[in-house]
Structure 1
Amino acid sequence: MRSTCLANAPVAVNRFARPAMAARRHAGLVDLVPHPWLLRVERTTLTIRPVHPRELSSVAAMHSRCSPSTLLDRFRAGGKGPSVLAMDQMVRSSLSFVAVTSRGDIVAMAVAEPDRLHSGDAADAGVLVEDKWQGKGIGRELLSHLAGAALVHGYSELITYTATSAADAQRLLLEIGSTRVVNDRQRPHLHTYLPESAALGLGAVRERLAS
């Protein structure tokens, strides 16, 4: 039965306002999200940092070096990369990170943006690693950082529009939080719920804990 006592009634909150409210719980970590950190890959050291809008051409070049199968796993769309307009949106996202070599080459990218098909608590997340850099743990590290960044910015869920049969993607997401396969006819995806511990995946946090 619906209560008529308005004084004690819960206040309705716009679903897209909830992330901003939730982010206040992690306010102390927000400043660590854009902090660059180093990732050692075999004999190479990569810098993980936010991408800059002026790097659109470098991001496009990285996508062009990826094979159709790699692009298919990340974007579906018949193995084609995103449009220039879509990439421009990626590089302008506040939750967009790249892995960069000492020569300045971008070899991987992770992006999280509001997912308009789900609740305001959900972020559309994706990681792309250039073919010759795969199998070195870069995707795992980027995804862990991305999940932490999304959490401290108020998101509690990640939606990943990759192949639902992609075992590697499922395994990595399960390391982060509870993940289920959603076999939607039009947009199959993986749905991950972020625990509070996901904040420990931030690269700057891990660097501090290791020092």
Structure 2
Amino acid sequence: MDTWILSALPEAPARVLDAGCGDGELAGALIAHGHDVTAIDLDPSAALAAGVPAKRADLTRYEDDPFDVIVLSLSLHHMHPLEAALDRAAALLRPDGLLVVDEFAWDWADEAAATWFYDAGTLLGRFDRPEPDPMIRWREAHVDHSPARDMLEAIAARFEIRRTRRVPYLFRYLGGEHAARLKEIEEVRHAPTGFRLTAVTRVTGGADGT
């Protein structure tokens, strides 16, 4: 697991909501580091199978006591409505709470990046055949994913962003034993298609800043 999220969190024990916990790897690591973690997902079966006590829940309607930290790791782009998810995140954080976001920016990929992604994926056996029109397939594959532009605007409307950094992402999807080399190639050849940010709740608590 990438250690960036661990480094972004306050010292343990912090009360953390892992929203969209997926396979539970991140939640398990945070628990192992002493944090009090609540993990939720629309389908928590993979996390539960891994021994993580995850709950079936939708962030847009989730109710709980205030959290010190909310982590959205490669999950926000799947959440709809986007604004409702971030409204709930703002409501669930304590006044000085921290939002940690590690996200996929599919709309930042150009044709060269999409071509490399599908060609590398074909070579590694992730895809069955070379893609004749990579950009069309790329757009079709992500039509239901929120673009980075919308995510960043919605976060900025509800939180005070402290730091944003663009990072490579495609190698994480291709993954496997070649991940480190793929990351090196991606960093040299292509613009980043991911971002990481930390933000805090606004003192006034209003989504419109009033």
Fold match by TM threshold 0.5: no
TM-score (norm 1): 0.27
TM-score normalised per structure 2: 0.27
